[in-house]
Amino acid sequence: MFACLKAETAPDIICLSKGLSGGCLPLAVTVASEDVYRAFYSDDIGKTFFHGHSYTGNPLACATGVASLELLETNPNFRNLEQQHRHYLEKWLKEHPKIEKIRTCGMIAAMDIVTDSQSGYFNAIAPIFKQRFLAEGFLLRPLGNTLYLMPPYCVTSNQLESIYQAIRRVLDTII
């Protein structure tokens, strides 16, 4: 579920938000290791860890978060999403001359679009591609010449393939 698990690291503090409620309601949480928790556990206000999110404690958001996590734990698509990304990247985009630096990690796939301009967030291809993806029926927002995909946890294999097919069609328009 978390990049730190994939990297086989154990952070002392991790702040979570956005996806906790499946994007339905604002919700955030800070999780600390037992050592950090104990270091601040005291009735002495001088030892207080004065940190909190503006999106904590809402009972409706918390119930939504619990339901979202339960769905996430039982959703087979989520567990296989990185493998699905790799499959569709291989099938639709791996050999495309306008794609380089393909990478995946968990739910996220990213690739760089080859252009005549300098790579980076200010590459002018982003707004062009955004409009073309909208015309295809997908809201994909390239950051400069880098295209990131992070579909919702409930995406089906057919839906994911449709996204990759649309990317291929849009890329074919710039050759």
143: DSSP letter: B
User: Of 26, 51, 74, which closes a domain?
Assistant: 74
Q: Are residues 65 and 84 in the same domain?
A: no
Per-residue pLDDT tens for 35-81?
999 998 999 988 887 766 677 778 999 999 899 888 878 877 777 88
- Do residues 158 and 88 share a domain? yes
Question: Does residue 39 share a domain with residue 58?
Answer: yes
Beta strands in 28-118 (DSSP E): 29-32, 99-105, 108-113
Please report, as a single letter, which amino acid is at residue 170.
Answer: V
Question: Do residues 54 and 109 both lie within one domain?
Answer: no
Which has the higher per-residue pLDDT, 12 or 55?
12
Name the token pair of 126.
Answer: 């982003």
Q: Which tens digit of pLDDT belongs to each residue from 81-130?
A: 889 999 999 999 989 999 999 999 888 999 999 998 888 888 999 999 99
The answer to whether residues 132 and 84 belong to one domain is yes
